[in-house]
Structure formats: structure tokens, C-alpha cells
Structure 1
Amino acid sequence: MDNQVWARDPKQFFKSLFEAAVAAADPERTIRAFLPQKPKGRTIVIGAGKGAAQMAAAFEKAWDGPLEGAVVTRYGYAAPTERIEVLEASHPVPDQPGLEASARMMSLVENLSEDDLVVALVCGGGSALLPAPAGDLTLEDEIAVNEALLASGAPISAMNTVRKHISRIKGGRLAAAAHPARVVSLVVSDIPGDDPALVSSGPTVPNNATREDALAIIEAYGMKLPERVMQHLQSDAANAPLPDDSCFSRNEVHVIASAARSLEAAAKLAAEQGLKAHILSDSIEGEAREVARVHGAIAREVAVNDRPFQRPALILSGGETTVTITGKGGRGGRNSEFLLGLALEIEGQDGIHAFAADTDGIDGSEDNAGAFADGSTVSRLRAASHDPKVLLARHDSWGAFDAVGDIYAPGPTGTNVNDLRAILIT
């Protein structure tokens, strides 16, 4: 790559940062270091997430023994495999094929022995792809819960705490069903803080969260859930097995890719071009427009006063923001909403360019990963007869960036380590 492309073509520079971050989370690069010891018995592969098919393909290439199994991914995210079946289902709202995929996973781990090995390939997106309503709950109940969670503004950790308590497969229950087989979970983390029990609501990884925690989250965010769901959560049947349960005694968990490693890869690429990168955090959460306000203030401070970083500077951050839907929502996702909020903060400021995208390639309701913004974004929107504040208020960030030609749509990446935010100040 040409040296200092960031100075000549910020958009191309941001694209290269995204590619470096995604490459650092490519399962084909990372999975070999975490291969388990071969078992005396069978090797069963299960998995779920938006990058599960790519993880399955990578595992097949790395594993030289017999294996069988299935993974489920989002429609359109499949990858060629030879021995592991790839199923597809709906994301972010569960559907019947997802229900069937959950049943398939449970059937694969039935009647195993202590000589058998289960390898769980888990990445972000599996919560929606593995619906398995507990007790008397229905798929419609789980869909209603999912829609309420997505609109609530709750962080992903809170959402997945609720999800695991209304499921027959989440919260470690899939691993419990595999007992007494050894279960090795290989996890690509899209969770701020990289707690593997929260990735895809932890189908093979338990944690200490309780149904009381789930009820407290529902109350805190004012969620209105079906009465049957609330009755279930108020019963002991909602309790998930805890980490000290003997059924997990032979389990192993490895995080094979994370936002931290991807941010470091992006920072390394910038350094190779003579640009100092500053990673604020790999686990930023909060309302997208509020996170944008803070990032915007830091960027302006650098641009005007050369503090806390001296120009030229690259500010990087990761994590997962949220968007609380108020009224009828528009089109977009958390990264484009962050950028639209940021554009308002840096309006008219020369020398600030910004980028935000979801590393799985899809941000919210549309087919883009994210977008680009700079100090001229707001004026260009107004010149095109759009009011950026109105667009932000109705959560139509996709419409905003589409109007000015700043959408970024690389397509599915095959991995998912949350969001990449980058602000260049020259």
C-alpha cells in the first residue's frame, strides 16, 4: 500500500483499516492454534452465528480426523463445506428454519459418551439463529421478546441474559445436553469485554446470571413482553445451569478472535503509514448518538488544540452501541446512527474524517456495514434538501448517507468482532 494514503484518500484508508480488522478475526487464520486433542470416539461439530459457516470451513481444513455436524448462519452467509452441514435461518428476528436448526443441534449431541468430542463454533448472531422456546413458550413468544429487546436500547449483555432464560438451548444448555462428552467451544467474540458466556447467549458456555437478573433487566428497560414469557421467567423452570454444575466439568472455552485484536491490527496498519493510532477502548457501549457526542468532542479537541493527541492522529474504538427506537423507526443501524450523530458534532470542521462499520458486514436493517462522514456531511445533506437532525430523530441514518453517497457495503465478511470506529484528524 502507498505510504500515507490516509493523507490523500481517507475513504480508501478507512477501507484498508476495516479489511485489516476483519483479517485479524478470520477464523482460517486463528482456529489452528486452538484445535483440541483428538478423541477416542466421534468428533461432532455444532455452531451458530453470522460467521459460523466460515468457522466450519476453517475447522474442516485444519482438522485431519473424521468429523460430522452442522452449523447455522444467517441467510446469504453460507460458505462451502464438505463434512459439516451449513443451515441458514433468519437474523435478527428468529424464524421456523432457526427452530429446526436448534433441534438439529440438540439431536447431534444426544447419546454421546465420554470418549466423544463436541466442538462448538460460536460467534455473534447465534441468539436469533437458535430459537428454542422453553416450556410452553412458542416461536411467536421468542420473536416478540427479540423484537422488544432490539427496540429497548439495552446492551447486548443484558439482552442475552434475558434470552438465555427463555430458551432450551442457550445458557449452557446445549453443552449440558452433550454430557458426558468433552465440549470445546471456539468463540469469536462480538461482546464488549469478551465474556464467551454472552456470545450468542452462550449455548455451550454457562454463567452465573439468574432469572431474577433477567426480570430486573426487563423492568429497567420498560419492556412489554407476552404474559406467558413473564410467567415462565417467574418460575424455577427458567433457571439455567450454573458454571459449577458437574455437567460442565470437562468443558473448555477459547476466544479465538476479538475486537481488541482487530483494533490492534488496524492500529498496526496505520503505524506502517506513519500515523499514530490511539485505541480508546474495545468495549464501548451506550446510545449511539451519545457515544458519537463524546467521540466528536475528542476529535474537535485534537483538531483545535492538539490534545489529548497531536495531529495527525487516528482515534479507534470498538464495542457495541445501541439505538433506542422511539416511534416509527427509519432505515439504518447503530454504526450509521453513530456517524450521523458524529457528523452533527463535527459540522464545518476541516480535517476530520470518520468511519464506522460492523465487522460482520451488515449494520442494522440494510445491506451496508456502515458509512463515512466528515466535516462537510451536514452541509451536503442540507444541500440535498435533507435535515440531518430530523433524519437522526427518526433513525434514518441509512437514508442520510445514501443521499450523499457515503454508504459502505462490502458484503458479509465471515466473522464478527463487533464495531470498528475510526476518526482521522489531520
Structure 2
Amino acid sequence: MSLQPARLPEPPRDILHKLMDAALRAADPAVQIPHNMPELPRGKTIVIGAGKASAHMARCFEQCWIAANGRDDIKNRLGGLVVTRYGHAAPCNHIEIVEASHPVPDAAGQQAAGRIFDIASKAGPDDLIVCMISGGGSALLALPAPGITLEDKQAISKALLKSGATISEMNCVRKHLSAIKGGRLALAGAKARMVTYLVSDVPGDDPAIIASGPTVADPTHQKDARAILKRYGIALPASAEKILNDPDFETLKPNHDCFAGNKTIMLSRPQGSLLAAAKVATELGLVPVILGDAIEGESREIAKMHAGIARQVAQHGQPAPKPCVLLSGGETTVTVRGDGGRGGRNAEFMLSLLLQLRDEAGFAALAIDTDGIDGSEDNAGAIMDGESWTKAQTRQIDLADYLDRNDAYSAFEKLNDLIVTGPTLTNVNDFRAILIF
């Protein structure tokens, strides 16, 4: 098997950006909302929700709803409230959009969650509640359980984010300490008919995990949340300990009456983005290999696994011949060491991958968070090719040191290899593409 790079139809970085663009287009919930409109109710249509994509979803729904039912009386019976991350708003004419903090909740999110809960509680049997739920909703829909303060909630969120816990583990804890998650929003709106639109940002696309499942049943128990906290050595304030040991404050299980007749519609999911990118890759003459849409684990370790598969392609033509692109999704995690640096899980994945492949010829890669924000910085992720290692050596950038300090953002900033898209108004989690040629 020849180790010489294969000819590509376009420069590697251009190809990677085309794959990324295809993945983001496929993740846009606006594509599916017009095909999944509910029946017109006799009463009001109340739109509520939370998440990074929720405002965009609400705007699309409003436009489609009015186009299909555009009488003045219908417009006058359309309203509601949706909370999204700062910078992710999409203006609506009839639905109120507010912004709050992510990934650590703030007072704006707490106030919005309380208002959303009240709106749902006041809906009647002739009304329709339409819930727009997407990733990020756990932090944005911050309504702590009785006795737990916002400060308690913030401290627990920060500890979980630094611990390396998976998204399913974090959301298990969150829903058991919340007055609105784990199906409790469905209970609040139980008098009305309810339809939930979902954009999945979780491995496996489990509705109970997306934004901690405010409108769906929860199969987990308080003991599961306690075990997770113990596993990661996270101490709780006394108020949270009390809630986690109160059998009367369990989340709502599938047999609860409040879920009867409710409908859940999945609009976008990670697999759809991977398939869209694979289609473009095939059109460009590349062999796409989808490694999985639900990959979890420590970012730097997942990068080592991807690097091993990439070398196998380059050296042995397995599991596919060159030119090939490895595609994957899911949500990796970062265990922050010490004070840590700047950067999210995708930049850390890319930095580890760059250290693994170093100056080997015939590789280029990209990794982003599909919401446009990797962690808490302004980048979606990072990109690299054969020149990246050379630039690092020439500029005397110690990449291993940056990785040790969880400072991948700064490393790629120095290399001018950050990817900045701005908020994409969707969120199907990580998208990774490794080109082998």
C-alpha cells in the first residue's frame, strides 16, 4: 500500500469546510418543522421551550403556523415564551424570546423557567402547548427544587462540568435537583394537549436526556444521581442532599397520567448530519466511514483512537482505501486539570489529534460543536493539516504543554487554526471529520 498522499479534487481545508457546512445544514430544525405541524386547537397555541436552538425553532414554527392559519383570530391566539443562550436569539412577532446563561445557569434563566412553568400551568383543555427543546436547555431552564438556591445550582453545575462526567450523567443529576425537568413541565401543562419538538444533542437521541427531559418521562432514580455524584467526588450542599433523599420528589415515570396523549417529534439528530457529510464526501470522490454518532469519552483519548484508525487507513487501506474521510459525532468530555486554560472539548480533541499525527503527510482534520460555540469561548472548534505541526515548531509553540493545561484554544489561536462560525442556532453536538489522502 503506497504511503504517498493521494490527489484530491480540492484543497483539504476546502473539503473539510464543505463537509462541515453540509452537517450544519442537515442539523437545521427549520427543514423539518413545516412537515410536522400539529392540528389547530380550539383555544390558544402556546409556544414554550429552552435550548440553544429553541428561539430559531420558535421563529420557524411561528412563520409556518401563521402561513397555514393566518387569520387574525389565530394570530391573536398565538404566544408564549422561549429561553435561549445569550447571542442565540431569533426575533419573533408573537412569541417572547429571552436570553440566559449557558453552561452555568443565571438569574435570567431562573426567572424565565419560572415564567414558562406558570404559562404551562395556566393552559386549559382547549389549548395546545408546543415545546421547543434543544441542547443547552438544562442550564437555561434553571428552576431549582424547593430549598435549593441558584448559587447551589451554579456550584453543582460547575463541579459537574469540570468532573469529566458525560452529558447523560450530568443531566441525570440536574433533573433530580430541578422543579421543572424530569417530566415536571409536562405535569404543569397536563390540562392541555402537548407537542414537543426536539433537536438532539445527546448520544442515543434519548428524549429523557435532551435538556434533562422537561416534558417526557424519566427512567432514572434518585439513587442514580447519588451514585454519579459519588463517582466523581462531588459534594452537595445540605439542601440538595435533602432533595436527593426525599422519596416524594422523584422524577415522573412513564406510567404517569400527565404524558397521556402527548406527542414528541425529533427534528434533527447527529446521525443526520453525519449522513449529509458522507453524501458530500462521496460526491467529491472520497470514501466516507462513519465511526459513530454517539461517541463519548475523554477528548484527548478519543483523539488517540481516531488517530489510530486514520493510520490504519493510510498504511493498510482499512477499513477503507484512501482518499477517505472518517466522520463521527457524539459528545466527548474534558476533565479540567488545575485552573485549566481556554478551550472546549473539540479544540482539545484536535490538539491531541495533532500531537498524535504530528508531521505525518496526508492528513487533515476538523472538529466543531455544531452550536457554534466550543465550551465557553467564541470558536466552534479547530482545523489542522500537514502545515499545522510545522507552524508550531517554527513558532516554538509547545503543544504538549498547552494540552496539559487544557488550553487548546490558545494553541490554535497562535496557529490561526480556530474555526469561528458564530451561533448556528442549532445543536446536534460534536462533528468531527478526518481526511486521509
TM-score (norm 1): 0.97
CA contact under 8 A between 1:171 and 1:201: conserved in structure 2? yes
Q: Match for residue 213 of structure 1?
A: 224
Q: Does 1:332 align with 2:332?
A: no
Alpha-carbon separation, structure 1, partners of 2:256 and 2:148:
25
How many pairs are equivalent? 423
Query: Greater shift after overlay, 113-122 or 6-15?
Result: 6-15
Contact 1:378/1:388 (<8 A) preserved: no
- Residue 385 of structure 1 deviates from its aligned partner by 2.0
The 1-side partners of 2:336 and 2:93 are apart by 42
Opposite residue 280 of structure 2, the aligned amino acid is: L
Which amino acid is the alignment partner of residue 137 of structure 1? Answer: I
Of the candidates 235, 242, 259, which is equivalent to residue 270 of structure 2? 259
Please tell me whether the aligned partners of residues 286 and 322 of structure 2 are also in contact (alpha carbons under 8 angstroms): no
Q: CA deviation at 1:378?
A: 3.2
| Aligned residues of 2:13 and 2:385 also touching (Cα < 8 A) | no
Q: Provide the residue aligned with 1:50 in structure 2.
A: 52
Deviation at 1:296, TM superposition (A): 0.3
Aligned to 2:19: 17
Q: Secondary structure at the match of 2:32?
A: helix
Residue 302 (1) aligns with residue 313 (2): yes
Give the conservation status (yes or no) of the 8 Å contact 2:328–2:433. yes
Paired residue for 2:282? 271
Q: 1:303 Cα deviation (Å)?
A: 1.1
State the superposition RMSD in angstroms. 1.4
SS where residue 167 of structure 1 aligns? coil
CA distance in 2, matches of 1:148, 1:140: 12
Cα pair 1:283 1:320 within 8 Å, conserved: yes
Which aligned pairs between 1:388-399 and structure 2 lie closer than 5 A? Answer: 388-399=399-410
- Match for 1:9: what amino acid? P
**Equivalent residue, structure 1, for 2:89:** 78
- AA aligned opposite 1:374: D
Give structure 2 stretches of 5+ with no counterpart.
1-5
Q: Does the residue aligned with 1:279 lie in a helix, a strand or coil?
A: strand
Residue of structure 2 equivalent to 1:248: 259
Cα 1:348/1:410, change in 2 over 3 Å: same
Contact 2:8 2:323 in 1 (8 A): no
Q: 2:212 aligns to what? A: 201
Alpha-carbon distance, 1:6 to partner: 5.5
Q: What do residues 105-130 of structure 1 show as CA deviations (whole Å, max 9, x unaligned)?
A: 01211232222111000000011111
Match of 2:38 in 1: 36
Q: Equivalent residue of 1:120, what SS?
A: strand
1:124 equivalent in alignment to 2:126: no
Q: Which amino acid aligns with 1:25?
A: A
CA–CA distance in structure 1, aligned partners of residues 372 and 209 of structure 2: 21
- Distance in 2 (CA, whole Å) between partners of 1:306 and 1:83 is 56
CA contact (8 A) 2:169 2:228 kept: yes
- Give the conservation status (yes or no) of the 8 Å contact 1:144–1:226: no
Secondary structure at the aligned position of 1:321 is classed as strand
Describe how 1:71-150 pairs up with structure 2 within 5 A: 71-150=82-161
Q: Give the match's secondary structure for 1:8.
A: coil
- Residue-by-residue CA offset, 1:62-84 (whole Å, 9 max, x unaligned): 11343110100111111121111
Runs of 4+ in 1 over 4 A off after TM superposition: 4-7
Q: Distance in 1 between matches of 2:405 and 2:375?
A: 14
Equivalent residue for 1:8? 10
| Structure 1 residue 5, shift from structure 2 partner | 10
Matched residues in 2 for 1:235 and 1:207: separation?
17
Counterparts of 1:411 and 1:379, CA distance in 2: 28
CA distance in 2, matches of 1:205, 1:371: 35
The letter for the 1-side match of 2:133 is V
CA distance in structure 1 between the partners assigned to 2:411 and 2:10 by the alignment = 25
Q: Does 1:401 align with 2:384?
A: no
1:377 aligns with 2:377: no
Question: What amino acid maps onto 2:156 in structure 1?
Answer: V
Displacement of 1:372 after TM fit?
0.6
Shift, 1:387, TM fit? 1.2
Q: Which amino acid aligns with 2:283?
A: E
**Mean Cα deviation higher: 206-215 or 4-13:** 4-13
SS in 2 for 1:63: helix
Task: Determine the structure 1 residue equivalent to 2:376.
Answer: 365
**Separation (CA, whole Å) in 2 of partners of 1:265 and 1:8:** 19
Unaligned runs of 5+ in 1: none
Q: Residue 5 and residue 107 in structure 1: after superposition, are their counterparts in 2 closer, same or farther (change >3 A)? A: farther
SS of 1:93's equivalent in the other structure is coil
SS, match of residue 208 in structure 1 = coil
Deviations 1:17-76 (A, max 9, x none): 111111112122111222111212211100110111110111011113431101001111
